[in-house]
Amino acid sequence: MAANLMMRGGIDSGGGFAPQSIFAVVTAFLRLLTQPLFLAGFVLYFVASLIWLRVVASEPLSVAYPVLVSLTFTLVTAGAVLLFQEPLSIRKVVGLAVILGGILIVSFEKSAT
């Protein structure tokens, strides 16, 4: 979750990312790797992927994946509002509440089995 926010911050401070060709994608990506915030987020994303491999190997995927995606969506939305001043509408708040309710239901299912 932090990795997403760090990468976004690095992209913003690096002038954005909107390449128009394959060569431009590579060039723009290499330029982003010189942004410390982006690079830290990229490395953190890699570490999170390694942890995710361990979770996939040891937990039921039908529980782990929805919990991961739901928590990521909720925490990244909160971070985007706080760090990037993105708008938070009533619709988003209701959606986040539904997502958190879903996390609780899935979590209780796991502990009940």
Residues of the chain under the 50 pLDDT cut: none
Q: What is the pLDDT of residue 87?
A: 95
Q: What is the pLDDT of residue 70?
A: 84
Please tell me whether residues 35 and 65 are part of one structural domain.
no
CB 2 within 8 A of CB 51: no
Q: What is the pLDDT of residue 67?
A: 82
Please tell me whether residues 85 and 64 are part of one structural domain.
yes
Please tell me whether residues 40 and 92 are part of one structural domain.
no
CA nearest to 67, candidates 101, 90, 97:
101
Q: What is the pLDDT of residue 68?
A: 86
Q: What is the pLDDT of residue 89?
A: 95
Q: What is the pLDDT of residue 110?
A: 54
Range of the domain at 43: 1-58
Please tell me whether residues 39 and 74 are part of one structural domain.
no
Q: What is the pLDDT of residue 81?
A: 94
Please tell me whether residues 54 and 72 are part of one structural domain.
no
- Is the model's pTM score more than 0.75? no
Please tell me whether residues 5 and 44 are part of one structural domain.
yes
Task: Provide the number of structural domains found in the chain.
Answer: 2
CB 41 within 8 A of CB 7: yes
Please tell me whether residues 44 and 70 are part of one structural domain.
no
Q: What is the pLDDT of residue 111?
A: 53
